[in-house]
Amino acid sequence: MSSRNAVLAEALQLPPEERADVAKQLIASLDGPADEDVEAAWLAEVERRLQEVDRGTAKVETWEAVRERLARRLRMNRK
């Protein structure tokens, strides 16, 4: 058995939460080192959007409305 298969077999024995954590770490390792400026910018954007929601100035949509809009786009792109 290759070492890759052995690692996979061992990982599959972990509880779901631990498997998810391993998967997350493996995927993150493919992205390379995190850019602190990018992470800071995303954090600032999330904070800004949360403040808009808290103030009631954000445009929000229900999941059902978003799902229908996406379904319409997909139908249009298939034509």
User: What is the per-residue pLDDT across 5-61, written as a single tens digit (0 to 9) for each?
Assistant: 999 999 999 999 999 999 999 998 887 777 888 889 999 999 999 999 999 999 999
User: For residue 32, what pLDDT is reported?
Assistant: 72
24 in the same domain as 41: no
49 in the same domain as 28: no
52 in the same domain as 27: no
68 in the same domain as 48: yes
CA distance 2 to 33: 28
60 in the same domain as 25: no
User: For residue 79, what pLDDT is reported?
Assistant: 74
28 in the same domain as 44: no
| Of 54, 74, 70, residue with least CA distance to 62 | 70
| Enclosing domain of residue 23 | 1-32
User: For residue 60, what pLDDT is reported?
Assistant: 92
Mean of pLDDT values over 58-78: 94
27 in the same domain as 4: yes
How many domains does one find in the chain?
A: 2
DSSP state, 33? S
